[in-house]
Amino acid sequence: MFYQHGKPKPTVKQTFFYKDWFERSIKYVDQLYDYRIKDFYSFDAICYIYGIPLNNVLKYYTLIKSIPIHIKSDINTNNTPCTQTTFLNWKHIFTMPYKATIESTLRNFQYKYIHRIIATNKYLFKCKLSNSNLCDFSGEN
């Protein structure tokens, strides 16, 4: 993860390592990121939080500047990777409305639910079929 002084600058496939930072529990780039202000901590803040010596200023700026833009944007959006993938038997899902009930209104609802075409309050309000465009559950637009 960290770049060592005196060695060639890492490419996208390479990693780099600062042993003294690792010993101070800095293992991931997001540990250097302040989620409150959506930017990286200043060098002074890193020194205060992790006890980094003041002579590591060049290491800090080298590290921050070498982080690719797509990683910075991923940290900023706080995305978490999907850890589980589930196989869905779509044939079974689409035949369930016909097996579960013979009532046409329930079949119609299940079909709309599966296809995500149930009208929301926002749409109903535009059609003048609802008094409000706010969500019934959260009260938000």
Residues 73-99: tens digit of each pLDDT: 777 675 555 556 677 888 888 888 888
Range of the domain at 35: 19-77
Q: Is residue 38 part of a domain?
A: yes
Q: Is residue 115 part of a domain?
A: yes
Q: Is residue 107 part of a domain?
A: yes
Looking at the structure, tell me whether residues 110 and 130 fall in a common domain.
yes
> Which residues, at least 6 apart from 63, have a Cβ–Cβ distance to it below 8 Å?
2, 3, 16, 18, 32
Question: What pLDDT digit, counting tens, does each position of 56-70 carry?
Answer: 999 898 888 888 888
Looking at the structure, tell me whether residues 68 and 91 fall in a common domain.
no
Question: What is the full DSSP assignment across 68-131?
Answer: -HHHHHHHHHT-----------HHHHHHHHHHH---HHHHHHHHHHHTT-PPPHHHHHHTT-SS
Say if CB 1 and CB 15 are below 8 A apart: yes
pLDDT for position 39: 85
Q: Is residue 7 part of a domain?
A: no
C-alpha closest to that of 16 among 25, 24, 27: 27
Give the mean pLDDT of 8-18: 62
Q: Is residue 5 part of a domain?
A: no
Percent of the chain at pLDDT above 70? Answer: 79
pLDDT band of residue 44 (cuts 50, 70, 90) is very high
Q: Is residue 1 part of a domain?
A: no
Number of domains, the chain: 2
Which of 28, 59, 77 is the last residue in one of the domains? Answer: 77
pLDDT for position 85: 62
pLDDT for position 105: 87
Cα separation, 71 vs 105, in Å, equals 48
pTM assigned to the model: 0.45
Residue 40 phi, psi (nearest 5): -75, 150
Looking at the structure, tell me whether residues 62 and 93 fall in a common domain.
no
Largest CA distance in the chain: 76
pLDDT band of residue 4 (cuts 50, 70, 90) is very low
Looking at the structure, tell me whether residues 95 and 56 fall in a common domain.
no
Cα separation, 40 vs 30, in Å, equals 8
pLDDT for position 43: 92
